[in-house]
Structure 1
Amino acid sequence: MGSKSELVHKLQQDILMWQGFKPASAACAERIGLGAIEDAFPGGVFPKRAIHEFITVFPEDAAASDGFIAGVLSNLMKDGAACMWISTARRLFPASLSAFNVEPERIIFMDVATEKDALWIMEEALRCEGLAAVVAEVDGLSLIESRRLQLAVEESGVTGFILRKDARRMASTIATARWQISPLPSVLENGMPGLGFPRWQVELLKVRNGIPGNWIMEWAGEGFLEVKRVLQQDGWREDEKRKIG
């Protein structure tokens, strides 16, 4: 029989595994290309068997969250799995997902009349092990509803993404992580005309058993880049980019 502290540590590790956090030995093999963001999670790996909550009060934040989630989906769906996207008022243009290496035909879009229907469909879809992820756009999410969704992902291992749109209905939930993605101006390379790659301010507001943080990320066609702002002696700021995916 081990000591009390050893038993407590073992129980903590078991709980983290049930919540979708992998031990350190499995972290390197299961990282999905988010760099330092993944280091904020226990074991240094993005939890797939979990509910991730995105705060999208403003339309521009919703669009930025759609893009960031699409970048994550490109990794979660790389083995050929499908994803379900549920909404009562969807604004996402399916063809735009191809810019993030996601094939639109592998997304099952469910447009329903009420949020009650959206949450019921999401719970049922999260129990389907054949899906890589389920995304739902809702105004709010109660503690009880989030608990039901978390129980569903713990059974199947499917990743759940909730986009919450109403700031007046920000009740506490048991989501593993709470994110806020804000758009940033794109930066052109070498004076080229047009628009640069999508760039975001990524805030991890809450993470269970992890460390919240703030990063600048860019999608560079094939994966995420982490952007660091460096202040030069002449007062100008330069961007240093590091490929992480």
Structure 2
Amino acid sequence: MATSAVAQDVVFALRQKIAKIEGTLAERLVAPADGQPVAGLLVRRNGHASARDFFLPTGVERLDKVLGGGLPKAALTEIHGTETRNAGAAAGLALCLVSGMLKERSRRNDLVLWVGTTEMFREAGLPYAPGLASFFGMSAESLLLAEAPKASDVLWIAEEAARIEEIAAIVVELRGNPRIVDLTATRRLHRRAQDSGRPVFLLRQSAAPEPTAAPVRLVVSPAPANLRQTLLGPLAGSIAAPAFAVEIGKSRTALPGSFILEWNPDARTLAERNPENRVAVVSPSRGRTRPPAQAGAVLAFKPAAAETAGNKPSREQHPAHRRPRRTG
């Protein structure tokens, strides 16, 4: 028991040293129990600390608990798309988080900067203005789009924009794993987010996880949507609110977790959905039944038998690469 207490004190001391190197002072709220996440980490600024000021709650109770209070509000957060064709899911989750943050701030003149490379916008497209207004409550005037030819230019634009007071959040969208987006570059971007007190979302499409300075990494893919609910019950053939399959790839609590989240465009909130409460991605064919399963094992080739002189292949059946080449 004493050994466990000493180990916890050592871990907390290391966290404080790391926080001092980063320019902040972190302290724990309550001692974590065995197998339970840390209740939260506070950052002191001018002698005051508040969990509400440090964390951006997602609205999903279980997700916020696993993350230790929510996403860090003044930090770099990674959102990974599994494939380029799933870019809409990763971008959609980023918009859900930004929309929830703007709803909490409730300021009219808040702006959001979306910066990406020309290659990324050509592959995945640009945010759709009518969809921003109807699904996320964001006007087209509040979204600033910046396009750059190289990833280094995208990072430079994001770092400079973090100093502008009117920009409430920054979304950096990149494709793949550019060499320039290394630990040093992400640490610099994370530092700018801490100094400005606003979040920066690193949206990486079709990228493999690699070491970065972001405290949280979310891996996102599309999830099947539910049917629309009416007074008479579910409406067949309809599509309800968009859903996201979210997996925690990295967090301060180091606790894994998988979630299926639904976005409510009216209330602008995220909610968790049970995995079994969904419809199939592809509906079964109508008027057809599945063929009965065949009994026994099915082999793609006949069992090999002992080779004899009588069952050897003829000369014409020998592979072509064993035949002598013609020289003239």
Normalised TM-score (structure 2): 0.61
2: CA distance, partners of 1:29 / 1:116: 29
Deviation at 1:210, TM superposition (A): 4.7
Aligned pair 1:33/2:59, yes or no?
Answer: yes
Q: What does 1:1-245 correspond to in 2, within 5 Å?
A: 5=9, 8=13, 11=16, 14-15=25-26, 16-18=41-43, 26=52, 31-42=57-68, 44-78=69-103, 79-80=106-107, 81-88=110-117, 89-90=120-121, 91-95=125-129, 96-98=131-133, 99-139=135-175, 140=177, 141-167=181-207, 170-188=209-227, 189=229, 190-192=233-235, 193-221=237-265, 222=267, 223-229=269-275, 237-238=276-277
Q: Which has the larger radius of gyration?
A: 2
Q: Sequence identity, in percent? A: 27
Deviation at 1:162, TM superposition (A): 0.8
Higher relative contact order structure (alpha carbons within 8 Å, sequence separation ≥ 6): 1
How many residue pairs end up in the alignment?
227
Say which structure is richer in strand. 1
Q: Aligned with 1:52: secondary structure?
A: strand
Q: Is the 8 A contact 1:197 1:218 kept in 2?
A: yes
Deviation at 1:211, TM superposition (A): 2.4
Mean CA deviation greater in 94-103 or 217-226: 94-103
Deviation at 1:26, TM superposition (A): 3.7
| CA distance 1:238–1:87, shift in 2 (3 Å) | closer
Q: Which amino acid aligns with 1:199?
A: A
Q: Is the 8 A contact 1:31 1:38 kept in 2?
A: yes
Corresponding residue of 1:234: none
| CA distance 1:28–1:129, shift in 2 (3 Å) | closer
Deviation at 1:125, TM superposition (A): 1.3
Corresponding residue of 1:232: none
Normalised TM-score (structure 1): 0.80
Post-superposition Cα deviations, 1:132-177, rounded to whole Å, max 9, x if no partner, equal 2100112332111001001101111110111123536x43111111
| CA distance 1:210–1:218, shift in 2 (3 Å) | same
Q: Which amino acid aligns with 1:121?
A: I
Q: Which amino acid aligns with 2:226?
A: V
**After TM superposition, what 4+ stretches of structure 1 lie above 4 angstroms from structure 2?**
22-25, 27-30
| CA distance 1:103–1:34, shift in 2 (3 Å) | farther
2: CA distance, partners of 1:24 / 1:101: 28
Q: Which amino acid aligns with 2:199?
A: T
Deviation at 1:191, TM superposition (A): 2.8
Q: Is the 8 A contact 1:30 1:45 kept in 2?
A: yes
Q: Is the 8 A contact 2:172 2:203 kept in 1?
A: yes
| CA distance 1:207–1:227, shift in 2 (3 Å) | same
Post-superposition Cα deviations, 1:21-54, rounded to whole Å, max 9, x if no partner, equal x967648996342332111223x13211111112
Q: Which amino acid aligns with 1:162?
A: L
Q: Which amino acid aligns with 1:156?
A: S
| CA distance 1:117–1:33, shift in 2 (3 Å) | same
1: CA distance, partners of 2:95 / 2:271: 15
Q: Which amino acid aligns with 2:80?
A: I
| CA distance 1:84–1:25, shift in 2 (3 Å) | closer
| CA distance 1:33–1:27, shift in 2 (3 Å) | farther
2: CA distance, partners of 1:114 / 1:204: 29
| CA distance 1:75–1:19, shift in 2 (3 Å) | farther
Post-superposition Cα deviations, 1:202-237, rounded to whole Å, max 9, x if no partner, equal 1111002352311111112222121124xxxxxxx4
